[in-house]
Amino acid sequence: MHEMILCKLGEVVLKGLNRRSFEMKLMGNIRRRTGRFGKFRVYSKQSTIYVEPAEETCDLAGAYAACKQVFGIIAVARALPCTKEKEAILETAKAYLGDALTAARSFKVESKRADKSFPMTSIQLSQWVGGHLHEAFPHLAVDVHHPELTVYVEVREEAAYVHAPAEPAGGLPIGMGGRAVSLLSGGIDSPVASYMIAKRGVELEMIHFASPPYTSEQAREKVLQLARDLVPWCGRLNVTIIPFAEIQEEIRRNCPEDHFTLIMRRFMMRLADALAKDLNCRALVTGESLGQVASQTMDALAVSGDVTDLPILRPVIGMDKEEIVRIARHIGTFETSILPYEDCCTVFTPRHPKTRPHVEEVREMEQALDVEGLVRRAMDGREVVKLR
């Protein structure tokens, strides 16, 4: 028998009558993510999705890494199947986990008997396998509370499986939570927000605002790299790049300086709203964190959100910077985010931004602008970059 991957289902098992549709979506996502590593059989039994190599040339390590980034799986493990006999289970554990058992100082065996026709209970099987492993690796201490290594044995209908501790994942399958447009800047927060909302099963379309010649080609490439960093988590992404310089220049010419950022944010929301409706998306996603900058006070958020009737999802709204950075490091976007290329938000930053704006006052200021014309020309100049 060949090594394979076990993907344990998370929240999907709680979905009642909708569970099968979630499982089918999840298996489809797994097939797409593992497809570049070879041909795999992907099927579901007993709250587990099995990813089994169909060819000798399959890259199991690559597929395993990909599965750890598929939302909807609570844990992922590489496992070796064997026949449902205690002797076969023991020999498989010794051979498959021999290096890990040699390196560890303490261990335990944890068994799960899904096939109730198996002649031993879960406890009996754990004790029998554990006792014989202790004889084979006498340096190991048995520690049932805090072992350095846990050997897992699962007895299922078709076979028994031996594996080391599974690695955690989580979330819901991409595509089951609807579609949304995520505003992607070059900073730390917006990629984290995109990751977090994708983890809830939302399929994302990305929008970015570029202001050449005020922003450089390196700034554009930085944002596209952030999107590439998100692809392993979020799946295939389209990045719509909107030319924003004309809007910013008009705001600078016609509006009070302390309101520059707020009015820019309102235009970003208008453009994201227009794109969302073009693409049949049901919400907007931003990386706003309450109080982090002047445009993210409660009053400012109300003013910027005034121009759209779509829900605005702000998954990092209550997080401090340290928490956001920790997630950014985990998902691999942090090093790209801190590259020193300015985005359009930092180019026209006012010296003393308004922190307690009033929506009626801002609407009055915008009367000096051709709002519809600016939005239309920006949308006409958009460019779409497809990332796979």
Please report which confidence band the pLDDT of residue 14 belongs to, taking 50, 70 and 90 as the band edges.
confident
Q: How far apart are CA 276 and CA 129, in angstroms?
A: 56
Q: At what angle do helices 19-34 and 60-67 cross, to 10 degrees?
A: 140
User: Among 166-170, 270-274, 282-286, 324-328, which stretch is predicted with the lowest mean pLDDT?
Assistant: 166-170
16-22 long-range Cβ contacts below 8 angstroms, 24+ apart: 21/176, 22/72, 22/172, 22/173, 22/176
Please report which confidence band the pLDDT of residue 345 belongs to, taking 50, 70 and 90 as the band edges.
low
Residue 42: pLDDT over 70: yes
Contact 130, 101 (CB under 8 A): no
Residue 351: pLDDT over 80: no
Residue 248: pLDDT over 90: yes
**Bridge partners (DSSP) listed for residue 179:** 203
Average pLDDT of the chain to the nearest whole number:
93
Alpha helices in the chain (DSSP H): 19-34, 60-67, 86-96, 98-103, 122-136, 189-198, 217-234, 245-254, 260-278, 298-305, 321-331, 334-337, 344-347, 359-366, 371-380
Please report which confidence band the pLDDT of residue 31 belongs to, taking 50, 70 and 90 as the band edges.
very high
Please report which confidence band the pLDDT of residue 347 belongs to, taking 50, 70 and 90 as the band edges.
low
Q: How far apart are CA 120 and CA 330, in angstroms?
A: 41
pLDDT at 346: 62
Query: What are the φ/ψ torsions at residue 71 (nearest 5 degrees)?
Result: -70, 145
Residue 92: pLDDT over 90: yes
Rounded to an integer, the average pLDDT of 69-78 is 94
- Token output for 321: 């910077």
Please report which confidence band the pLDDT of residue 214 belongs to, taking 50, 70 and 90 as the band edges.
confident
List the one residue out of 364, 107, 386, 127 whose CA is nearest residue 236.
Answer: 386
Percent of the chain surpassing pLDDT 70: 98
